[in-house]
Amino acid sequence: MKPIKSGKDRRRWERLPLAIPVFVRGIEPNGKQFIEFATALDISVGGALLAIQRHLPPGSRIMLEIPCTPVPLSKETSQKQNFRAKLVRVSKGDDCHLLGLKFHRPMSVGTKVAKPAARRKSASSM
* Domains within the chain, CATH numbers bracketed: 20-108 (2.40.10.220)
- What pLDDT score does 17 carry? 80
Q: How far apart are CA 78 and CA 67, in angstroms?
A: 9
- pLDDT less than 50: residues of the chain: 1, 4-8, 111-114, 117-126
What CA–CA distance (Å, rounded) separates 39 from 66? Answer: 10
pLDDT of 100? 94
* Per-residue model confidence as pLDDT tens digits over 24-60: 999 887 889 999 999 999 988 899 999 999 988 889 9
User: What pLDDT shows up at residue 76?
Assistant: 59
Cα radius of gyration rounded to whole Å, the chain: 17
Question: Pairing state of beta strands 80-92 and 33-43?
Answer: unpaired
User: What is the predicted pLDDT for the residue at 34?
Assistant: 94
- Give the pLDDT score at 94: 86
Sign (positive or negative) of CA dihedral 8, 113, 49, 20: positive
Instruction: For the chain, list the strands marked E by DSSP.
Output: 20-27, 33-43, 47-52, 61-67, 80-92, 97-103, 108-109, 112-113
What's the pLDDT score for residue 107? 74
Q: In the prediction, which pLDDT does 31 show?
A: 86
